[in-house]
Amino acid sequence: MAKIYKDRDADLSVLSGKVVAVLGYGIQGRSWALNTRDSGIKVIVGVRPGKSLELARQEGFEVYPVGEAVKKADVIAVLLPDMVQPSVWMEEIAPNLKRGTTVVFAHGFNVRFGLIKPPNNVDVVLIAPKAPGKAVRDEYVRGWGVPALVAVHQNFTGNALKTALALAKANGFTRTGVIETTFAEETETDLIGEQNVLVGGLLQLLRYGFEVMVELGYQPEVAYFEAINEAKLIMDLIWERGLTGMLLGVSETARYGGLTVGPYVINEDVKRRMKEAAERVRNGEFAKEWVNEYQGGAQKLRRLLEQVQNSQVERVGDELRKLMRGK
Ligand code: NDP
Ligand code: MG
Ligand code: MG
């Protein structure tokens, strides 16, 4: 059983009298900054001039250029886009790091794949919320929190885990539970999960499910409901009641058809390819490909996104969503 930390395992006073610099005021950064401040801890924001700087200022934070914020802080939370982090690290963070600073990442990508190499005289920890940034704030405000993972990569001060748990508590994460992991496990499972299942596999399954019906001559609108729209309802059942709960919540016919045909369609060959894709994550090939793509201007990403945007399924979906919202 995984080691799970709760509120009682974390001590907020570890951060009293300390300054936490949140670097980036975007999807995660804003939520972390607001939550941590509401937990009574001194928070400053480090960001470049622009929209999010203005917002952070409006919301009452002292805002500094990234390097200045790093200089003033005891704990820095690196909440910049993953692909931006290595250059900001080299130019603005590393030159200003003090001995004994706690460096917090929300995703292990850059450390795991060696794109950021922190010096030996700082603590390096991971607090990875397992939810979108909006939920990180909404749940905190509701008096609860989203689950998260915690890991220690480097423990220079001897207090790395205590500091990480304190910041996790300040964000409400220990109210639900914070699972102990490693940078490698968090990074690899995050990528493998989003590629094979959440973003990649699911998207392709929905697209093929829709296309098969349309190519067989059924009306696209009907196909959209059957292959895509109802997927939400099935996921809600799984989320609330588990796999068996979902199976017991559909008709007997759906249960029998699903259990017999599912493994025929998504067969061992698919599983074998999932393992191949996972191997490309584990051996760093995927990270290398993505960093090259990003540095080259991300043309392929743009093209692939446009293909989805311009596909028939999206036009049908747009119309039906308007209909369902009564527009
Ligand atoms: P965002 O894309 O929302 O971060 C954007 C922020 O970074 C903005 O404030 C932006 O400022 C600032 N920024 C961008 N470039 C620079 C720069 N060169 N110098 C200074 N500031 C800059 O990031 P996320 O919140 O999505 O991700 C942050 C981290 O959290 C990542 O490690 C990610 O993997 C992790 N994470 C994210 C989740 C999510 O829900 N999105 C979930 C779990 C983990 P500006 O407005 O000026 O562009
Ligand atoms: Mg993820
Ligand atoms: Mg991810």
pLDDT along the chain (327 residues), means of 10: 96 98 98 98 98 97 98 98 97 98 98 98 97 96 97 98 98 98 98 97 97 98 96 96 98 98 98 98 98 97 97 94 85
pLDDT, position 327: 67
Between the CA of 249 and the centroid of ligand 1 the distance, in Å, is 39
pLDDT, position 23: 98
Q: Could you tell me if 163 and 15 are in contact, meaning their C-beta atoms sit under 8 angstroms apart?
A: yes
Between the CA of 49 and the centroid of ligand 3 the distance, in Å, is 26
- Burial bucket for residue 157 (CB in 10 Å: 0-12, 13-18, 19+): middle
* Residue 311 assigned as binding residue: no
* Residue 138 assigned as binding residue: no
pLDDT, position 324: 87
Q: Where are the domains of the chain?
A: 4-181, 198-266+297-325
What is the distance, to the nearest Å, from the Cα of residue 171 to the centroid of all Cα atoms in its chain? Answer: 15
Fold designation for 4-181 = Rossmann fold (3.40.50)
pLDDT, position 193: 97
Q: Which residue bears the tokens 């890991």?
A: 151
82 to 89, 101, 171, 206, 306: CA distances (angstroms): 11, 20, 21, 28, 22
Ligand 1 neighbour 91 (Cβ under 6 A): no
Sort strands 63-64 and 4-5 into parallel, antiparallel or unpaired. Answer: unpaired
Between the CA of 198 and the centroid of ligand 1 the distance, in Å, is 21
Residue to probe by mutation, ligand 1, list 23, 48, 59, most atoms within 8 Å of CB: 48
Angle in degrees, 0-180, between the axes of helices 252-265 and 230-249, rounded to the nearest 10: 110
* Residue 25 assigned as binding residue: yes
Q: Which residues are catalytic?
A: 107
- Residues within 5 Å of ion ligand 2 by Cβ? 190
pLDDT, position 121: 98
Angle in degrees, 0-180, between the axes of helices 299-309 and 285-295, rounded to the nearest 10: 90
pLDDT, position 1: 85
